[in-house]
Amino acid sequence: MKIAAFIPARGGSKGIPRKNILPFLGFPLINYSIEYAKTCDFVNDIYVSTDDREIAKISTSSGAHVINRPKNISTDTATTESAIQHFLDTIDIKPEIIILLQATSPLRPAGSLTKAINTFIQGEYDSLLSLTPTHQFFWKVNGDIASPEYDYMNRPRRQDFHPSDIPYDENGSLYIFTRKHFEKTGNRLGGKIGYISFPEKYGYQIDSMDDFTFLESLASNNRNEKIKIFSENDSNFMGK
């Protein structure tokens, strides 16, 4: 069964210019997703889809194959699904399973990719995503009216949340899906959907410079807690 990791990384970014290759703890941001994919023996190939020469050069030197993405699907309005479809149309030997890793999620638990793939295969899922539990109390807003998504008359203490009542956030870190499912639906999600849960400290992604600064500080301050970015055996792990 051929399994491929796919990392979309266009050159343009309105929120943070050159975001995907900004130094994060001394390494280009995209390297963290490439290295994460390399920690899993199930992954046969790693592909980076980009329209940017510098991203392509960094990705190649890190051991990934580069898919040269056309400009018309590299805009702010282009979907990730369009990049996935271009990737499948471009390569000759197509994978049965695709792992989508977003470059904006540099912090992931060690061993989580292997666990996710095992969960995906054993559960015979069509798609799977990473979720993060949150102990927030959510509300919906409609015009000038706010309505709760919980029973505020019986407000639970956060530490007393029942597992079935805990809301989960789609953290955007990883998605797994079969090529058959994607070709049928044109979407990374759908069918029988499984999940893998990441602890809250791994549930952040970078969309703004504030996010970037916060995550870099979080990673730096948790060196002693062994937040896994690269594999434990990588001499570059957290500057070790």
Query: CA geometry: angle at 177 spanning 41 and 83, to 5°?
Result: 100
The pLDDT of residue 222 is 66
The pLDDT of residue 187 is 96
Domains of the chain plus CATH, in order, are 3-133+167-239 (3.90.550.10)
Query: Is 155 one of the catalytic residues?
Result: yes
Determine the Cα–Cα distance for residues 155 and 165; give it in Å rounded to an integer. 12
List the catalytic residue out of 155, 157, 179, 188. 155
Strand-pair category, 3-8 with 97-101: parallel
Instruction: List the chain residues with pLDDT less than 70.
Output: 15, 158-159, 162-163, 222-240
Which of 38, 50, 46, 63 is CA-nearest to residue 13?
50
pTM confidence score: 0.85
pLDDT in tens, 110-149: 999 999 999 999 999 999 999 998 877 888 899 989 998 8
